[in-house]
Structure 1
Amino acid sequence: MGHVTLVGAGPGDPDLITVRGRRCIETADVIVYDHLVNPVMLEWRRDDAELVNVGKMPSHHLVTQEQINALLVRLAKQGKRVARLKSGDPFVFGRGGEERQFLLGQGVPCEVVPGVTSAIAGPAAAGIPITHRDYAAQFHVITGHRKQSAKELDWSVIARLEGTVVFLMGMAQLPHIVNELLAHGKSEGTPVAVIQWATRNEQRSTVADLRHIEEAVRLGGLGSPALIVVGGVARLIDPDSPGFMPFRTPDDAAGSRDSGNRRDFGDDGMEICAGQ
């Protein structure tokens, strides 16, 4: 009997995988990996190691979860050392818990190598701390991609959450997220940052208030994969971070003639440099 190791590949930058995670890739007989795993990591494999791309993307899976489960069991029962490579951390919206349960239920040994989750590393790559004594004493991570059978999120609760709220896999639902937050009382001046391809060379980001974030994303050409950071810490985004794109409304442009290069969104909002 072989075994399966659920390996967290981290947020994207190959340097951010754990030492143990890299060692698992280097010693595996088979590497079963998802779409968002940085291909550089696959170059660390043995020359005779097999690669299996299961290509999981939102609403478009090359291989179903049931097929992945069966594949992992079959490979392990063939005596293979399997590295199941997942972006971020396997247990943070990575379905790692489901896969582990299935494997153990089939009598297949399974261990977990945690990874650096993009929910924390992604904002950090843009200069945003997930917590800060002046802005956030707590944080919440919510998936923007849910099972069709899942109940709707309780937006009345989410809109009242204090601290930082991070949405993963939520870009396709951005209009819905914005509308629900506003409809349930979230201030339209709440700072929101969007970071695409966080920690990778392709990283891009922007920031605006809740009322304008959809426009900022559209003008910046941002898309999936990206994370959405809602809360006061978003105002701390580093304008010198890779791929940062400042957003200015027509009102900002007019106001800048009187107030310099700063934008003020009021008591619940933010003030950032937009003069580039």
Structure 2
Amino acid sequence: MPIRIPNRLPARAQLEAEGVMVLNERTANRQDIRPMRIGLLNLMPNKIRTETQIARLIGATPLQVEMTLIRIGSHVSRNTEESHLIDFYRTFQEVKDEKFDGFIITGAPIEKLAFEDVTYWEELQEVFEWTRTNVHSLFNICWGAMAAAYHFHGVPKHELETKAFGVYRHRNLVPTSPYLAGFSDDFSIPVSRWTEMRAAEIKAAPGLELLMESDITGPCLISEEEGNRLYIFNHIEYDSTSLKEEYDRDIANGTPIDVPHNYYPADDPTMPPSNRWRSHAHLLFGNWINRMYQTTHYDLAEIGHAKED
């Protein structure tokens, strides 16, 4: 089954052009099936691009998936038209009485700020606590993953001297993990961040298991049995041109930035970059949804009331 998203969502046209199966609302309502319900708390400034990236990955599954777009109610977006937010997004306060099989919290370009200095930190903490009872499986990405690891375990983030920026080789540390089924022993993932979390501090936190790591950029993916949580510090969901757009933006703004590591052929920014992570992005999200489908309750109302096997 394909992904179910609003008929007028801008991501629909892009996904259909790529051959992703997108279900219209009328057809979805006719099917006698309970879709997997996934919420996307989108903290990224370019919300439409992030919607498309995530929808592309969760739509590549044989299950019917319903994606609900959610935003922080206490934060005013400066990069997305208010009409788009009104038409397609619900605030966290509007969905807090509902249950979700899966919930994704994205990154945000605020890495250098202390967590407590983020204007919506209190509301985000409320979201994290809410997921304990209203979400079967939580998937945190980049800054969202660091924020979650800090909230649930007190793991600190550390500022880097230079930005980790490019495409880096990563190692599969736990091939038997259900989240890494089908993964190669090593693989490439885009990285774009000014901060890091360190392996020793992650391993010292009870319940966290380090699944992926880079010799250069450090920990990448962590799993946790409690809350069926995943934490990924890098951007496996990125489009082929996402790093290029960040690089071009910084060059245009006069911001000092190195050419993204191992991204352009021969490190030549005039050449089109190659995507070497797409298949593993689909694997990771597909494995997450498969694991969620096998362990969630049929009755959404039961989420949070009993420990699943």
Q: Do both share a fold (TM > 0.5)? A: no
Structure with the greater alpha carbon radius of gyration: 1
Higher helix share: 2
TM-score after normalising by structure 2: 0.28
